[in-house]
Amino acid sequence: MVINVDFSGGKATGKMTFNGQDRVIAADLGGRFRRCRGRRSGDCNTASCRGLRHDFPHFDIQSGKVKLMQLTVPAEESVTVAAGTFNTYRVEIASADGSGDKKTLWVAKDSRKVVKASAVVAAMGGAVMTGNCCRK
């Protein structure tokens, strides 16, 4: 699969090639970022991010459409991966309308790096894929 997309002037334009078949990408991105609800994102620099909720537009390459996504930080958790144990924020990203795929990221509180990621893929019957994102 090869994807070439240019994001400029409020539009996404380009081409996606898969198994020798081309699909044109031409979408008006429109919309604006919505305001955070709950805690403001700037609060994360000095305090806990727990309780943050933010809606944002996301361009889905496969559908060629913009959909509204919702990011929440429902918890702080200790996570152990091959590189060690980290104090993290659990960040959940899902369609704002509650349908479709869902991603969960565990972000280290000190470095702000993703140490673990998990995704539920609706198109694959709700299959769950999980991976560790850092090494020793």
pLDDT per residue over 39-59, tens digit each? 444 445 445 677 777 777 777
Alpha carbon distances (Å) from 70 to 15, 46, 95, 99: 27, 23, 6, 11
Per-residue pLDDT at 46: 41
Per-residue pLDDT at 86: 94
Higher pLDDT, 113 or 67: 113
The CA distance from 52 to 89, in Å, is 10
Asked if 73 and 93 touch (Cβ cutoff 8 Å), the reply is no
CA quadruple 39, 42, 46, 48: dihedral positive or negative? positive
The CA distance from 100 to 51, in Å, is 22
Mean pLDDT for the stretch of residues 82-90: 92
Per-residue pLDDT at 42: 47
Closest CA relative to residue 106, chosen from 136, 73, 82: 73
> Is residue 38 pLDDT above 50, yes or no?
no
Strand bridging mode 114-121 / 102-108: antiparallel
Average per-residue pLDDT for the chain: 78
Per-residue pLDDT at 36: 45
The CA distance from 33 to 36, in Å, is 9
> Is residue 134 pLDDT above 80, yes or no?
no
Per-residue pLDDT at 119: 82
Alpha carbon distances (Å) from 116 to 58, 75, 82, 127: 22, 15, 10, 17
pLDDT tens column, 87-133:
999 999 998 877 777 889 999 998 888 999 888 766 666 666 666 66
Q: Taking the model in full, what pTM does it have?
A: 0.66
Per-residue pLDDT at 41: 45
